Structures are given as structure tokens and as C-alpha cells.
A and B are shown apart, each in its own frame.
Chain A
Amino acid sequence: MIQRDEQLPVGDERGSAPPDGRPLAAQPKWRRDFPIDWPHDEWVSRREFTRFLVLTSGALAVGQLWIAAKSLLGASAPAAPELQVAKVDELPVGRARTFHYPAGSPPRILVRTAAGFVAYDQQCTHLLCPVIPAVEQGRLYCPCHEGWFDLETGRPLAGPPQRPLPKIRLKVVEGRVFATGIEEQAR
């Protein structure tokens, strides 16, 4: 009898004997690529391939649904509590200051224009550089890539940014400025 056990690695299944009797490891590459033995063959049946397609597409679909559900739930999340960010007296017209709302957030920028107070996320929607108020021109300016935003609405006017700056809702009560919420503005 041919010693089958010596022709295969330890712990392997019983394998067929190549005609020249040499072990599988000593066989040419084509024979190792196309083994006669079923356990050595990387056989993918039509059913296995279909199962792979169905399961991966299903996983992608579930992921999409999860992202959609998460964004829907995030939109209805309770707003952060109101926070006093400045007093009217300490900020003259044309000046600005940063604040954090809610606490621990990325910096927001509060600008006092002739018309009143406006506040936005300070991070440019292009690559998160801090924007600089240009109150005389009625704009916000991002120096990194020459991006411009409208100071009244936060809409991008020029440069790389495509999305408007998130706007912070404000309320002025008895000489004090409160932040009351964040508007994720549509494009």
C-alpha cells in the first residue's frame, strides 16, 4: 500500500496519490492549485456563492438602515439646555467672541452685527478651520482655502465649502444672550 499519511501534512485528510508517488508539497504548482482531493480544493459551490452574496448585501442593507435610523433618532434628540453665552453690554457692534454650546462642544462664534446677534459653528464646513468674522463685508471668512460664508444666514458664498455653517439659535433676554439650540441647515 502507498503510505498515504506521509504525503500530506500532519492532521490532514487522507489524500489521493499523485502518479509519481512524490508528496503533495513536492508536486508542481499546477497540481497543488488543482488538487483532486475535495478537502484541498477551494471549491465554491453556486449555493455558497449565492449565500455570500445574500449575506453581504443583507449586511450592507442593515448598515444603511441603522445609519438612517440613527440619523432620524439623532434629529429628534432633546436639545441642549439654554446657556448664557454673553451679555449685550460686553460685545459692541462688529465684534465677536467664541463660546461652547453645549458645554464641551467645538467652539461656536457669536457675532454682533448692526441687526443683532448671530452665532454659528466656528468650524468651516470644508476642513474644520476656524472661520473669522468679516462684519464690514457681512461675511465670515475661512483663511485656509479662501472660503466665504454669509453672515446673516451661514450659507457658503465662495471657496471650497459646500454646506452652510450650523447656526446657533439665540435669544436675548434682559441684556443677556442665551443659546437655545442648533439648526442643522439644509444645503
Chain B
Amino acid sequence: MAVPERFEFFVDPGRCIGCEACMQACTECDTHRGQSMIQLDFVDRTGSPQTVPIVCMHCEAPTCAEVCPADAIKRTADGVVQAARKPRCIACNNCVLACPFGVPKMNTGMHLMMKCDMCYDRTSVGLKPMCASVCPSQALAWGTREEMLRLRPNARPVNAFQFGLQTIRTRVNLMVPLDARAEMLDVTSAIHEPTIGRDVMEDVFVEGLPEGMA
């Protein structure tokens, strides 16, 4: 049993309405029942209601597996990066820290890393992943590439990412506007860093910095 090559996962953040149905459906997945592996990120929480569902992108060179000291994270022949093998995982948290997309989750109670495995029990037998089957706006969509290009003429799939000096190619696609020229998406640009330090000081001291702080 393997996920057919022609079926791909398409994530379109522009369609996400933040309903959290995917998170609820994810808890129904039999490979990690009761726990949601999807994280709903706010792009800029103070300025916009826009959310982005984060599922595992299933990299061709999975960083989580590269950093695993226990050889616990494996990628099956169909390109799906599986959750850590229970007998091998030592709960060291390396994968959680290393993943460019912040996907793996550490279940400290079970001493086991758990992550989105594209609902392997479903997709390997021809069903859609749980999240894609419930997403009302199809921000998480499962299907063939031809189908997606036909249904969404104003977007195109991109599966290359830049993370620092690392170029990442993934099995899961992110939909970008058709006229966007970027061939790669910079992962770090989506990381929201709250203002700290001097910026805060400047916010607080609107009148100008106190003496000795300039």
C-alpha cells in the first residue's frame, strides 16, 4: 500500500477562513487519534484575521530525519515522511526544533514525536486526508495536478522553499497567485517576530528615549 504518485496535496492559504475544521478532523485520524497535528497560524494576528493551516510538507530531504540521532524518522517510497517509529524515538526534540515549517510535535507523555503523515491509513487506500475531506473552502485540497490546474486557473502550485541557505523541495504544494514570479517561497518571511528591545522602547517612549538610553 502506498499513496499514488498522481495524488498531491495542495495548500492554499488564501482560501483559509480559519474555521479550524481541519484541526478537528485531524484528531479523528486513526494514525494519531485524539491529537491534532495541524496547526493554524495567524499571519499577523494584530493586523489581519488571515490564517494559514500548517500540515507536513513532506520534504524530499526531510530535515527532521536528517537531524534524528535515533534513525527513527523514515520516508516511504511514495515520498511521505512518516511519524517517528515508536521503538526508536528517544524524544530528543531535535526534529521539533529543526523542521523549517514547525510541523513535528513532541508527545511528552508518550515520549514520541508525532507529526502529520498525510493520513497514511486513508491516502494509501485511495481516500482523502481527513483535513482535505472537511475543509469547506478547500484551502487544503487533495487531488491530481491536472484537476487542480483546471479548478483554480488563477493560482499555480509551488513546492520549492528557501530556509536560510537551505533549499527545500516538498511533496506538498503551496498555491501562489498565478502572476507571482517567485519560484521559491521564503519560509522565514512567514515567521512573525514580535518587536522586542529597542522597538518596544520606542513604542513606549513616544516622546523620545529617556536620557542615557539613546
Interface residues of A (CB under 8 A from B): 1-2, 4, 13-14, 16-19, 34, 36-39, 41, 43, 45-46
Contacts and interface: CB of A to CB of B under 8 A. Distances in A.
Nearest to A14: B77
Nearest to B71: A34
Contacts of A34: 71
Contact of A38 (B60, B61, B75, B166): B75
Contact of B169 (A1, A13, A37, A38): A1
Contacts of B71: 34, 41
A166 B136 CA distance: 89
A159 to B, nearest CB: 57
Nearest to A45: B87
Contacts of A13: 77
- Is the contact region of chain B dominated by helix, strand, or loop, or is it mixed? loop
A43 B74 contact: yes
Nearest to A16: B75
B171 to A, nearest CB: 10
A37 B75 contact: yes
Nearest to A18: B61
Given A13-B77, A45-B87, 5 more contacts: A4-B60, A14-B78, A16-B62, A38-B76, A43-B85
B82 A17 contact: no
A109 to B, nearest CB: 64
Given A2-B60, A16-B61, A38 B77 contact: yes
A1 B60 CA distance: 10
A18 B85 CA distance: 21
Nearest to B76: A38
